[in-house]
Amino acid sequence: MIKVGLVDDQKYDLEKLQITLSKEADIDIVFSTNNSEEAYKLIKSEDIDLLITDIEMPELSGYELADFIHSYAMDIKVIFVTGHSGYAVHAFELDVLDYIMKPFSKERLLRGIKRLQMKKEVADKTKLVLKNKSDIFFIDKKGIIYIERTGRSTTIYTHEGEFSTYQTLNELEEELAGSHFVRSHRGFIINIHYVKNFSLYTKNSYTVHFQKTKNTAIITKSSLDKLQDQFYN
């Protein structure tokens, strides 16, 4: 879901934006105003992903709103919808998502928003969605050191702390596929980025020592052989 704020001092243009975006199931219009000073206050108080704004407006211009967002490194993207082409160069200095000339088609507007949706999808792939009885956590995959299954519970060890879940290692392994995680043992998944060394544990297994923690995991000899072939050759 993309959370959007709209601002345009022209009533017709603002209504056109509202009507166009209200029909999209994956877009939530958080606020819509024809007053740029009100938009300035709402940007600071409301949680939005995207501001769609005209540029030339009384009081505060859309360019000034975008400059405020950019200067304070707010996690808000901006799309300019304007009847003036002369601001384009300066606009992209502010890292705006898109610059759309009026009059515009629905397809042209949604094409710009699609860029943000694609960026969010990529970002989501960097997170592990972890479920337990009453909470859902979003954990950075790169911060996971290793995962251990004990009985019916799974513990995820990260450099920020431990998280427990009833999700199985098979389920988590599927979510972590394609990254630097290895199913080292039926009870462990390890992140090779944190591996410090291996030491012999039994005839057919090794202890895994990590950076960032004194905890250890287990890797079987066959898994270590595969790991060496895949990453260290």
Taking the C-alpha atoms of residue 42 and residue 76, their distance in angstroms, rounded to an integer, is 12
Per-residue pLDDT tens digits of the chain, which is 233 residues long: 899 999 999 999 999 999 999 999 889 999 999 999 999 999 999 999 999 999 999 989 999 999 999 888 788 999 999 998 877 777 777 878 889 999 999 999 998 898 888 777 665 677 887 876 667 788 888 899 999 999 889 999 998 899 998 889 998 988 887 668 999 999 999 998 899 999 999 999 999 999 889 999 999 999 998 887 765 54
DSSP one-letter code for 141: G
Taking the C-alpha atoms of residue 228 and residue 77, their distance in angstroms, rounded to an integer, is 43
| Contact predicate 212/193, CB 8 Å | no
Taking the C-alpha atoms of residue 216 and residue 127, their distance in angstroms, rounded to an integer, is 24
Location of structure tokens 């057919």: 204
| β-bridge partners, 165 | 154
Q: Is the pTM of this model over 0.85?
A: no
pLDDT of residue 16: 95
3-state SS, residue 38: helix
